[in-house]
Each structure stands twice: as C-alpha cells, then as structure tokens.
Amino acid sequence: MRTFALAHDATTRRLRAFYVLTKPRVNTLIVFCAVIGMFLGAPDGLPDAMRVFAATLGIACVAGAAAAMNCLVEQQIDARMARTRGRPLPRGELGSVEVLAFAGVLGGFGLSVLHQAVNPLTMWLTLATFVGYAVVYTLLLKPRTPQNIVIGGASGAMPPVLGWAAVSGDVTADALLLFLIIFAWTPPHFWALALYRTEDYARAGLPMLPVTHGAEYTRLSVLLYTLILFAVTLLPYATRMSGALYLAVAVLLGARFIHYAWRLYRQYSDALARRTFRYSILYLFGLFAALLVDHYLPY
C-alpha cells in the first residue's frame, strides 16, 4: 500500500509539472481573448458551439506547447531568476527530452484539431503564432534587443484573430483592431513587471528595457504606451464595431490605467509596479468582456 501511495504521489507530481510547463495563468488569458474573438467574429449571432469547443481546445494546446518550448529554451535563464527558478526544468523535475516530446505531442494535437475540426486558416495562423513566440521572440528577440516585447508582442496579440478566423474563416479589419489593442497593451504590461524584476533580468543577462535604458526611461515608456493604448481602445467605437457601453468601459478602465502609469512615472515603488502589472491583466479581461457584452446589446 505504501509503495502504491508513493508511486501515485510521484505520478501526480510529474503530471503537475507538465501542467505548470503550459503556463496555465497566461494560457487562461490567451484562451479568453481567443474565445471573445470567436463570438465577435460570428457572422450570424452566436457561433457554433462545437466549433468554439474545437477551436478553444486547439488554441489552448498550441499555446501550452509554445509555453513549454519557452521553458525548454530558457531553462538556464530561468534557473538564474527568482521569479522562474521554481519551474519544473530548473528544479530537475523533468528532463529536456521529455519536455520536447510533450511540446511536440501537445502542439501537434492542437494543430490537428484546428485543421480537422475548425479550418486550415486558423491552423496556419496558430502555427505562425507558435513560431513567432517560441522561435522569433524566445530565441531571436528576447536575448538581443530591449524592444523584444514590442516586436515579439505581435505573437501575443494574435489570440482574438485566431478566434475570429475560427468562426468566420476570414481575418477582417475588426479582427485586426483586436490585435492592435493587445499589441499596444503588451509593452506597459510587461515593462511594469520588468521594473520590479530588473535585478532578476540583469542577473540572467537579458536586455530588458530597465536593464539597458534605466528605470526612468522605462517608466516614461510605460506612460507613453499607456496613452497610445487608450487611443487604440477607442477605435472599435470610432469604427462602429462597438457601442456606448464599450466606450464607457474603455474610458473608465483606460483612465485608471493612465493613473497607474502616471503615478509609476512620478512616484515609483516596487509595490506600485506590482499593482500596475496586476491591474493590466484585469484591465484586458474587463475590456474584452465589455466588447463581448456590447456586441449583443440591441442598439
């Protein structure tokens, strides 16, 4: 009985380690934005439930595989950073070969689901997003340029486009507006994190903006990008993609984000940077939820 219990515990720990590799908290935001894209892109009211399920499953699997590849490539970097040294690879809970196999199987399964049960366009766009994150951002941009998160943010901004393509079979200007919102949101979101993790990134040898250009320059960049984000979030209303409810929510949430960014610039503290980072996540959830609710209002 004791041997069985130990074996069960070991199996549970390994399964949990594979689950952690997929970065479930990040994946939740990715899937949420993709699902919103599915509902907004539905040509006739509500999207088909089975298509939504298949697209969600496929996108989540490929996103999890990309996260696992990121952990594999950056395991030495992760071991030097306090924020990431508890991940499965630095702790020795999993080996490189099995993580590579896991990412391959999970990603292959996700792409297969998208191709067979959704449409080829979504599969190819999702594959391009995988390459953009796991290869272009992780291998080429992140270790080489402080603008890594700006350029690499293109792959992170793709989920609503993937969702839109999954139900409509097309990528329209409205879908690209959703892309633009997340693209503009990404720099202030990640630079708020980088500000209170500057020593971590410096220790790991990564050229994040606070490391290469200093804290004051980064705080100013956060403020400027937040102002850009505020302007971008007004575009769905300006193009009549959304109505008054979304506009009100976008203005209120955006004003609060600008307030955080202004305080971060003028009265910096690590605690405030943490709050700004956490708020940025809630901000994106709230903004996309408002888009969804507004979409079904009978204006």
Residue 3: the pLDDT is 60
Cα–Cα distance between 32 and 37 in angstroms, integer?
9
Q: Which of 227, 240, 154, 147 is nearest to 194 (CA)?
A: 147
The per-residue pLDDT for 10 is: 67
Q: Are 191 and 161 in contact (CB under 8 A)?
A: no
Q: Residues 205-247: pLDDT tens digits?
A: 899 999 999 999 999 999 999 999 999 999 999 999 999 999 9
Helix (H) or strand (E) holding 242: none
User: Is residue 151 predicted with pLDDT exceeding 70?
Assistant: yes
Residue among 2, 14, 58 nearest 35 (CA)? 58
Of 213, 204, 265, 236, nearest to 75 (Cα)?
Answer: 204
Looking at 84-150, which runs of residues are DSSP E strands?
none
How large is the average pLDDT for residues 33-62?
94
Residue 298: predicted pLDDT: 84
Do 1-171 and 172-299 share a fold?
no
Q: Residues 277-295: what's their mean pLDDT?
A: 97
Separation CA 143–CA 184 (nearest Å):
21
Q: What is the mean pLDDT of residues 143-161?
A: 91
Inter-axis angle of helices 49-73 and 96-113, to 10 degrees? 160
What CATH number labels 172-299? 1.20.120
Average pLDDT of span 112-139: 95
Q: List C-alpha distances in Å: 241 to 41, 43, 173, 255, 278.
A: 11, 13, 10, 21, 28
Is the pLDDT at 139 greater than 90? The verdict is no
pTM: 0.93
Query: Domain residues of the chain, as ranges?
Result: 1-171, 172-299
CATH code given to domain 1-171: 1.10.357.140
Residue 103 to residues 24, 130, 152, Cα–Cα distance (Å): 14, 11, 20
Largest distance between two CA atoms of the chain: 66
Predicted local confidence at residue 255, as pLDDT: 98
